A and B are shown apart, each in its own frame.
Chain A
Amino acid sequence: MELKRPRRGPVRAWRIGLHGFCAFVFLFLMAPLIVVFPISFSSSPYLQFPPPGWSLRWYVAYVDDTAWIDATLRSLKVAGATMLLSTVLGTLLAFAVVRGRYPGKSLLNQFALLPLIVPVIVYSIAVYGLFAQLRLIGDWKAIVLGHTVHAIPFVVILVAAALRTYDENYELAAMSLGASRLRAVWRITLPQIRPALISAMFLAFISSFDELVVAMFLGGSNMTLPKKMFDNIVNAIDPTIAAVSVLQIVLVTAVLGLVSKFGAGAAPSGTGHG
C-alpha cells in the first residue's frame, strides 16, 4: 500500500513526523498495560514506583484468597455459558438475517443489533428492575441472561458477514445429493464458516468475562471478577489487583494469538483463514 511517490525532502520530514506521532500514540495505548507488571511484582503494599523490592506476594495473595478465586471461577462459568447461549441463538438469527426474502427482513437485522445502541447502564437498571421482581438477583444464571443479550449482536455481525460471502450452492449441492437441510448446514456450511464462529465465541466470552455493570446489578453479593476488581480499586486495598491484571493481560494475549490463527474478523486484518 506504500504510495509510489519520489522521496522528496518535505515528504520524508513529514513521514518522520507521522512515525514519531504514532510512536507516541502506541505508547499511550500500551502504557497502562505495561505499568501493572512491575507493580504486581512489588514487595510493597503501597502503590510505589519503582517498587522498593520484588516479590510474588500479590500472586500468592490472589491464589490464597477464596474470594478472589470464587469470583474468578464464577466469571469463567458465566462467560462460558454466555458464549454457548449467545453463539447458538446468534448463529440461528444470523441465518434468518442473511438468507431468504421476506417482508421485514431489514427490520429483523436492526432488531438483532438493537442491544448495541442502548447504554449498558440503562439496560442494567432495566433488567435489574425485572429480575428483582422475579427474585433472580444473585443468581449467576441471571448474569448469563443479561450478558447474552449484549453478546448476541456481536455473534450476528460476525456470522452474518461470513454467511454473506459463503456460496450457498455448496449447501444446495449437498442437498441435491440427498442430505437434509439441517444435515447440509451442519456438515457443510458451519465447517466452512468456522473461523467466524470461533471469533464470535471469543468475542462473546470476553465481552461477558470483562463486563462489570450488568454483573454489578444482577450479581448481588455473588461477585464476578470485574466486580471484585472494581471494589478493590475503589477501596484501594492492595496490589493484588495488579497480579490479577497481569494474569488477565497474559490470558488475553494468548487467546488473541489463538484466535488470530484460527478465527476471522476479530482482528480487522482478517488474513488468518483460507
Chain B
Amino acid sequence: MTAPSASLLEGGFFWRRHRSTVLLLATALPAIIFLLVFYIAPMALLLAESFEGGTFKHYAKALSDGLYVGVLIDTLVIAACVSLVCLLLGYPLAYFLASTPAPWPTIGIIFVLLPFWTSILVRTYGWMILLGRNGIVNRALIELGLIATPLPLLNNINGVLIGMVHVLLPYMVFPIYAVMRRIDPALLAAAEGLGAPGWQIFRRIYFPLTLPGVLAGVTLVFIVAIGFFITPALLGGGKVITVAVLIETQVRQFLNWGFAAALSAVLLGATLVVYLALRRLFRSEM
C-alpha cells in the first residue's frame, strides 16, 4: 500500500524500486526455503506414497469400501453438527459481547479467551470429570430429579460433540464479534425510527450485516473440525472413528502408509473443497 509513495520519495528510479523488491524477496527467502523443505516436501512425499505402485488402489479402497466411506460421512456429519451448535451458541454470545456496556465485554472476552488458551488436554480431562457416569453433570441432574438414570455422556458421540464444541466455540465467536462491533448503530436506529418492529430489524438489517462474520466462523469451525483428532480419540471411548483417528491407527498400528496417505489426501481434498466453496459463498455475499 505504501510502496508507490515510497518509490516516489526515493526518486522513482526504476533500478532502485527493483533493488528493494529483490531485497524484500531475499528477506522472505529463509522462511520460503524453510516451508519448502519442512512443509511442502513432506506433503509431496506423502502424496506420492498414496499412489504406491503407480495405482489408485488405496483411493479405491478409501472411497468404495462401505466401512471407510462411513467414517468419512461420519466425520463430515460431526463437523456439520459442531458448526451448527457453535453458531447457535456463539451468535448470541457475540451479540452480548458487542452490545453490553463497558466492563462486561472485557470480562466476557476473558471467559472466552481463558479456555481458548488452555491446553486441549486439560479441557478434555475436565470434561471427563464432568461427564462420566458418576460425573458431576449426571449427579446434579439426578439430584434435581430431571433424570432417573445417568445419561451416557462420555465415551460416545455425545462426549465428542460436547468436547469439540467447547474447543471450537471461540473460533465462531471472534469473527462474528469482530463484524458486529463494526455495525453502525445508527442503521438500526434509522430502521426503528421508520417503524420497523424489532425482529424485522434483526432479520432484514442486523443479520445480513453480520453474515460475513457468520460465514468466516462457520468456515473456520468446519475446517478445523474435520481434521480433529484429540477429542474424538479421548472422549469417544474408541466408538467414534473420524478420518483423523483412522489415519492415526493405520500408521501407528498397521504401518499401512499407502492407505493412510490416501486417506490424508481425501481429508485434505474435502478440506479444500469446503474452504473454496465457503469462500465463494463469502465473496458473493460481500
Contact = CB atoms under 8 A, between A and B. Distances in A.
A248 B125 CA distance: 13
Nearest to B25: A96
Interface string A201-231: 0000010011011000000000000100110
Contacts of B123: 32-33
Nearest to A241: B125
A267 B31 CA distance: 26
Interface residues of B, number: 94
Contact of B98 (A1, A123, A145): A1
A32 B127 contact: yes
Nearest to B227: A119
Contact of A129 (B46, B166, B248): B46
B115 A121 contact: no
The range of chain A's interface size is 35 or more
Contacts of A146: 38
Contacts of A11: 198
Contacts of B6: 168, 172
A213 B230 contact: yes
Nearest to A30: B111
A18 B95 contact: yes
B251 A89 contact: no
A7 interface: no
Interface of B is mostly: helix
Contacts of B230: 212-213, 230
Contacts of B93: 22, 25
Contacts of B67: none
A269 interface: yes
B118 A248 contact: yes
Interface in B218-263: 223, 226-227, 229-230, 234, 244, 247-248, 251, 257, 260-261
Interface of B: 1-6, 9-10, 20-21, 23-25, 27-28, 30-32, 34-35, 38-39, 41-43, 45-46, 49, 89, 92-93, 95-96, 98-101, 105-106, 108-109, 111-115, 117-130, 132, 135-136, 139, 166, 169, 174, 177-178, 181, 185, 188-189, 192, 198, 223, 226-227, 229-230, 234, 244, 247-248, 251, 257, 260-261, 264, 267-268, 271-272, 275
16 contacts: A3-B99, A39-B129, A93-B27, A93-B28, A114-B39, A121-B229, A122-B247, A123-B43, A125-B261, A125-B264, A130-B42, A148-B34, A152-B31, A226-B119, A229-B122, A268-B177
